[in-house]
Structure 1
Amino acid sequence: SDRGITDLILWRDVAKSTLWFGVGSLCFLSSCFAQGISFSIFSAICQLGLLLLGLSFFSNSICQRNNIEKRRDIQLKEDDILRVARLILPAANLAISKRRELFSGEPSMTLKVAPFLLLGAEYGHLITLRRLCAIGFFVSFTAPKLYLRYSARISQK
């Protein structure tokens, strides 16, 4: 079974690979032109992030104007999460520290983060699960073959 998939992806059996690639391409291309609900969670998250970034920036600006140093450290304790799952704690603390860093309201960080959130909010509707699957499908048929073909040149450089 693994040998058949490898042969299919690496185009060793050209007839089978062409058939599966053609059927997959037809399905994905036809689904891209189909009308449906165009809600993107990525776009919604980016719009929420822009709102949070703006509020943090204004809050930080007001605190600096009044010379108030206000820092709230929010951390999850191990006892709070231990009952739920031990695997979630490191990921949650990393997400909180990164969120605090990204949405600190400092002008330099705001200028770095805002363009990505603006692009995500504006064009996030283009990133859908269907399109991500289509990209994955096409990459899975092309990347391994291209790598095998050019691996000698890659290793030389």
Structure 2
Amino acid sequence: MKFTKIKYNPKEPKVTIRWEESRKGGAETLRHGIDSKDRPEPAFIDALEAFIPEVCRLLDLPADYGKGMAVRGVSINHEEDLRRGLVITLLKGLLDANAPLIINTPHLRESDGEDSGVFASAAMIKRLDNLERMAQRYIDGHREQSDLFLGGSDLADEVAGALSDAGVLEPA
């Protein structure tokens, strides 16, 4: 699975995830997508926001400029040599404007370790890996409150037990 776009707009709310899968030895590409109004789990939002310090560093902005920034999405491409490239879209609220400043980073590729030039930092690639894990979790059904009946916490176990006793939920 190769992710191509991961976006979140908290105002609607709306999560958009696009990905591709190769079939028939790479001769065919299937494109998939989700557009959902289900709010993501907090770790999904954290994975997006984790790009802010890296973007400030990349754009030579002071670290405190990241306050008031919000990452809205990451566009990802996959090169023939299997390296990824990414563009990050952020919003920055402005005091004297009715609309935010929209920032798109330059396209950055993964380095193969032997390249010279400007590439995505190791920290940025680590953040991309984490965001892709969070996108996979979202596809798998993990949402803001999805874990309530999946167990693993005292409250979830207590609620599941009460619902089971009431005949509403099958016992695990």
- Asked if Structure 1 and Structure 2 have the same fold, meaning a TM-score greater than 0.5 normalized by the shorter chain, the answer is no
Whose RCO is larger (CA < 8 A, sep 6+)?
Answer: 1
Is the helix fraction higher in 1 or 2? 1
| Higher strand proportion (structure 1 or 2) | 2
> Which of structures 1 and 2 has the bigger CA Rg?
1
